[in-house]
Amino acid sequence: MTIRRSTRARLGLAIGAVGATAVVLAGCASTNSGGGSTAASSQPLIIGTTDKITSIDPAGSYDNGSFAVMNQIYPFLMNSKYGTAEVTPDIATSAEFTSPNEYTVKLKSGLKYANGDALDSSDVKFSFDRMVKINDPNGPASLLGNLDSVETPDATTVVFHLKNPNDQTWAQVLSSPAGPIVDEKVFSADKVTPDQTIVDGKAFAGQYDIKSYKVNELIDYVPNKDYQGNLGAAQNSGVTVKYYADASNLKLDISKGNIDVAFPSLSPSDISDLRTNKNVKVVDGPGGAIRYIVWNFNTMPFGATAQGADPAKALAVRQAAADLIDRPAIAKDVYKDTFTPLYSYVAKGFTGANDSLKGLYGDGKGGPSLDKAKQTLQAAGVTTPVTLNLQYNGDHYGPSSGDEYAKIKSQLENGGLFTVNLAQTEWVTYQKQRVDSYPVYQLGWFPDFSDADNYLTPFFSKENFLSNHYDNPQVQDLLAKEATNTDANSRKQQIEQIQDLVAKDLSTIPLLQGTQIAIVGKDVQGTTLDASFKFRYAPLHK
């Protein structure tokens, strides 16, 4: 009994100590009151995402996760209104070419940041100059390749001097990851500014101000009452974004109602499952991400440096492969229709997207044709089966890549025309080896900005990033013309012509186009998924 009494006494002492500690610690605690407006109409929302932030300094990151934050907190000279990809002046009153090499932007007057600093042309010049100067390896400075200099004749006028005249993508570049305007009193001129410095400096003039920030864990946004851009005030009183590493945890939380919105990104099977859940709504929108196969014109079968090099036979091999691929089956069976079949080089929804591949290959209606593939190979004198060493990556484009390429292997081998050796390589090694070692391989693309050119010039110009030795002077000539063509109709025709030419050459075979999918609680309204590919928090409300 003595021992029991002693134990009880110790237990009581321990509980008392914990309680006392709690009281003392509570007395020591103080909280930051934060700031921002609370005048908006709806209660705060919680958004879950699997995105990751690299840096919220525009000069230091070029990824979807970081850009998603920037879209809420920084103003842009040009931006797209909800529901459209077309860009119009945001914190500007006008933006236009005042001469072939000069793009002049007039700012609204009285602009300011959440910290009270004035926002004028000096900040705009500072924002672009520092991005070019810092040229961070992880940053988007390459998008400003056509920028020669920035001039500021007065406090509300900015003149961009461009190297190449009439750059039709420039307005889009100003709304891209290279375009956020930052406070010159907070940001460093020559190096990437730490996130906490930006948050502490309240250098925000977008729709939201950040109240508290814990990178890749939790961000608490409150509406910025000083925002004067064209997108209007937030429809909610605040948004908290919670970052998930595991998409299955995100799915569980949205299905249990622990969060209001999940974007992005869930697996196709999770999305399919949630479509039957009465507590949530699945909102689909146009997507800019595409998946495609790249042919190396040197090392592919019958390629320029391969054994038995023969350009005609190499072309026949590419065409036969295009005849056999069944895109609708891949979209349905592997991606549960979260991707759609893609028959054009420019993604659907953009100017000039024309389904150039649909009529040329397969059954002419989007399906495969074994007979046509046989005829193509026979006509070129190609002995079958042709061995294809097809490479893909399993850790960069999502876990379904394995299923996708198993399906493609099966489709290509159907009928015995091809023998496919399928191999997977880890992403970093994949990037090093793809250029010289892989004759046929998988890649994906997400546009830098919403313009058709972003699906053409990076791929089919002579110095294309694929480095697959594709070289068609006619295509390059048209690319140069469309990029500077001020006539919209004529430019559209040129974009279509480029696609028709590439479709015959088959430098790449487009396969699928992703859709944007957000899962929202049944009481959440205002979800906006459009071809700007910017997920805006401001129109959300419940």
Partner 1 sequence: MVTAVDAADFASPVTAKRGGLWRYILIRLLLIIPTILILVTVVFILMRVTGDPITAALGGRLAPAELARRLHEAGYDRPILVQYAEYLRNLLMGDLGTTLTDNRPVTQILLQYGSATLELAFYALIVALIIGMPFGLIAAYRRDRWQDALLRTGAILAYATPIFFVAILLKLILAVNLGAFPVAGRASTRVELELQSITNPSGIYLVDALRLGDPAAVADVLWHAVLPAIALGLLTAGIFLRLVRTNVIGTLGSQYVTSARSRGVGEYTRVTKHPCRPALIPIITLMGLQIAALLSGAVLTETSFEWKGLGFMLSEYLKARDFVAVQGIVILIAIIVAVANFIVDVLAVVIDPRVRY
Q: Look at strands 157-162 and 147-154 and give their pairing.
A: antiparallel
Give the shortest CB-430-to-partner 1 separation in angstroms.
8
Q: How far is the CB of 18 from partner 1 (least distance, A)?
A: 8
Q: Which is nearer to partner 1, 190 or 463 (CB)?
A: 463
- Rounded to whole angstroms, what are the CA distances from 125 to 113, 151, 189, 460? 16, 7, 11, 32
Tokens describing residue 540: 């959300």
DSSP per-residue string spanning 59-93: GG--SHHHHHHHHHHS--SEEEPTT---EEESSEE
Residue among 55 and 71 whose Cβ is closer to partner 1: 55
Other Cβ atoms less than 10 A from the Cβ of 84: the count is 12
**CB nearer to partner 1: pick between 259 and 315:** 259
Min. distance of Cβ 421 from partner 1 in angstroms? 22
CA gap 175, 426 in Å, rounded: 33
By C-beta, is 215 or 501 nearer to partner 1?
A: 215
CB of 46 to partner 1, least distance (A): 6
For the CB of residue 463, give the shortest distance to partner 1 in the complex, in Å: 7
Residue number, 361 or 441, with CB nearest to partner 1: 441
3-state secondary structure 239-281: EEEEECCCHHHHHHHHHCCCCCEECCCCCHHHHHHHCCCCCEE
**CB 251 → partner 1: shortest distance, Å?**
10
Interface with partner 1 (CB under 8 A): 3, 21-23, 25-32, 34, 46, 52-55, 57, 60, 62-63, 135, 137-138, 142, 192, 194-195, 212, 214-218, 220, 240, 242, 244-246, 249, 252-253, 256, 258-259, 396, 427-432, 435, 443-445, 458, 463-467
Q: Which is nearer to partner 1, 421 or 467 (CB)?
A: 467
Q: In the β-sheet with 102-107, what is the strand arrangement from edge to edge?
A: 92-99, 102-107, 157-162, 147-154
Structure tokens at 291: 């998946």
Q: What's phi and psi for 96, nearest 5 deg?
A: -165, 165
Shortest spacing between CB 492 and partner 1, in angstroms: 26
Nearer Cβ to partner 1 (311/465): 465
Q: How far is the CB of 249 from partner 1 (least distance, A)?
A: 4
Long-range contacts of 191-197 (CB under 8 A, 24+ apart): 191/134, 192/55, 192/57, 192/59, 192/60, 192/134, 192/136, 192/139, 193/57, 193/59, 193/60, 194/57, 195/53, 195/55, 195/56, 195/57
Between 119 and 466, name the residue whose CB sits nearer to partner 1.
466
